[in-house]
């Protein structure tokens, strides 16, 4: 029998929950520390458009069956230029069929996702409910966590899934690049008279994108990016006033708007950690990177973090090596950096091109969309880039991933690992 290593996950958001379930498949003992999820389930009205690899991961973790009825497939993505610039770019619609798929992915409610993942922890991951981890102390042999209630816990490896203000990141001594955006997103879900036909539509507007994403039935979720003051104004309107503004912005796309669920406002910012693992602490999700909600990349990146980290832990378990040591953390950082850095940059450039006042910037964006509309190979490449070649990135992102991850972690010579 090899040694049993203890891994602690700090943070019970979608990234932390998937990381805990994924790491549990490697045979390590996993304890997840987080506030009671009832507050998250009640307060997060967002949905996440998750691409094929993310859905495959949820299937592998055994939660997709419960989540699918709450989610809607996305068969096409439409971009409409509503910037009012001199050169109006053509409308571009990408269909999943162009790359021989039925869907690009699914639009999943965050609250339902957290609920299904939490339910799946039973018997796999020890859930330690706490008001929060208040202290993280790193030493050569372990990390000691101290909860707000005063309890302590020692782990070989800590997975920091504690969001953008991560105290795990600070304890690991990992610095960040952060940058503000003078933007905030209004989010809600609403019903409408015209069918969405499983098409997600992104209006590119001068203050940022306005995106409507299909939900089950005749409903869609909304992410409407504006200046912070305008976002607050829109969120504070009464329902009739908000309905009128939204119908005007959607230009009849979804017909008459019916019920509108409660609205929330999310200020936008950017963050990229300089390393994704050091001093026995690995960072995942928004503890490692924060990007604006354009092109639905944020949580897809977070789930890929969880899947790749599970592979790195599996390799350590396979070799009988402590998973908190530098080989695991260095491998994890090296594997995640290109994917994270390329998406942080691309989303930043696209966002800035929308809000820029410079005519050449609008011209370049417009010409880019013309090229995407007309050049077949470029289109298909853009679609595949957006989707990310998931099964090659990590075991859990492909079919049968859970069994392959378990096999990968089984003790034996490292060169026979999957």
**Positions that interact with ligand FAD (CB under 6 A):** 10-16, 33-35, 40, 46, 48-49, 132-133, 161-163, 167, 185, 187, 223, 266, 285-286, 293, 296-300, 302
Residue 46 CB, shortest distance to ligand FAD, in Å, is 5
Residue 209 CB, shortest distance to ligand FAD, in Å, is 10
Residue 410 CB, shortest distance to ligand FAD, in Å, is 29
Residue 353 CB, shortest distance to ligand FAD, in Å, is 19
Residue 344 CB, shortest distance to ligand FAD, in Å, is 12
Question: Any idea what the Cα angle at residue 128 is, between residues 316 and 27, rounded to 5°?
Answer: 25
CA distance 373 to 384: 15
Minimum CB distance to ligand FAD smaller for 15 or for 92:
15
Count how many residues are written for the chain.
418
Residue 53 CB, shortest distance to ligand FAD, in Å, is 11
Minimum CB distance to ligand FAD smaller for 10 or for 257:
10
What are the b/e assignments for 199-234, b being 16+ CB within 10 Å?
bbbbbbbebbbbbbbbbeebbbbbbbbbbeeebeeb
Q: How far is CA 223 from CA 114, 214, 352, in A?
A: 20, 12, 17
Nearest to 101 by CA among 387, 301, 396, 374: 387
Minimum CB distance to ligand FAD smaller for 26 or for 128:
128
Q: How far is CA 294 from CA 23, 202, 209, in A?
A: 29, 9, 7
Minimum CB distance to ligand FAD smaller for 153 or for 266:
266
Tokens of 142: 């372990």
Minimum CB distance to ligand FAD smaller for 158 or for 409:
158
Minimum CB distance to ligand FAD smaller for 257 or for 284:
284
Tokens of 183: 């933007």
């Amino acid at each position: 029998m090899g040694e049993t290593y203890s891994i602690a996950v700090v943070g019970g958001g979608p990234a932390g929950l998937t990381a805990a379930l994924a790491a549990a498949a490697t045979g390590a003992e996993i304890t997840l520390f987080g506030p009671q999820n009832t507050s998250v389930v009640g307060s997060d009205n967002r949905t996440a458009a998750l691409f094929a690899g993310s859905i495959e991961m949820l299937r592998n973790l055994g939660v997709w069956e419960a989540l699918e009825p709450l989610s809607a497939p996305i068969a096409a993505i439409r971009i409409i230029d509503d910037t009012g610039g001199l050169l109006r770019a053509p409308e571009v619609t990408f269909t999943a069929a162009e790359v021989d798929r039925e869907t690009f992915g699914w639009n999943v409610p965050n609250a339902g996702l957290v609920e299904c993942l939490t339910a799946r922890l039973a018997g796999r991951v020890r859930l330690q409910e706490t008001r929060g981890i208040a202290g993280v102390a790193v030493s050569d042999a372990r990390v000691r966590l101290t909860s707000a209630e005063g309890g302590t816990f020692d782990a070989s490896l800590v997975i920091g899934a504690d969001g953008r203000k991560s105290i795990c990141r600070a304890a690991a001594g990992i610095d960040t690049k952060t940058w503000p955006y003078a933007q905030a997103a209004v989010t809600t879900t609403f019903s409408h008279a015209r069918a969405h036909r499983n098409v997600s539509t992104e209006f590119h507007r001068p203050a940022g994108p306005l995106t409507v994403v299909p939900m089950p039935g005749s409903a869609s979720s909304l992410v409407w990016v504006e200046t912070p003051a305008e976002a607050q104004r829109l969120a504070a309107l009464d329902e009739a006033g908000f309905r009128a503004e939204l119908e005007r912005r959607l230009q009849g796309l979804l017909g008459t708007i019916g019920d509108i669920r409660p609205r929330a406002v999310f200020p936008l910012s950017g963050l990229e950690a300089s390393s994704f693992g050091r001093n026995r602490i690995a960072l995942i999700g928004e503890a490692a990177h924060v990007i604006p909600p354009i092109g639905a990349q944020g949580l897809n990146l977070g789930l890929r973090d969880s899947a790749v980290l599970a592979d790195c832990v599996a390799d350590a378990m396979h070799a009988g090596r402590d998973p908190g040591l530098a080989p695991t953390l260095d491998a994890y950082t090296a594997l995640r950096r290109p994917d994270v850095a390329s998406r942080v940059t691309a989303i930043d450039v696209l966002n800035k091109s929308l809000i820029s006042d410079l005519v050449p910037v609008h011209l370049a964006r417009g010409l880019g969309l013309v090229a995407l509309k007309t050049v077949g190979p470029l289109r298909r490449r853009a679609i595949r880039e957006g989707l990310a070649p998931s099964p090659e990135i990590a075991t859990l992102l492909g079919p049968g991933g859970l069994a392959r991850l378990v096999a990968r972690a089984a003790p034996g010579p490292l060169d026979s690992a999957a």
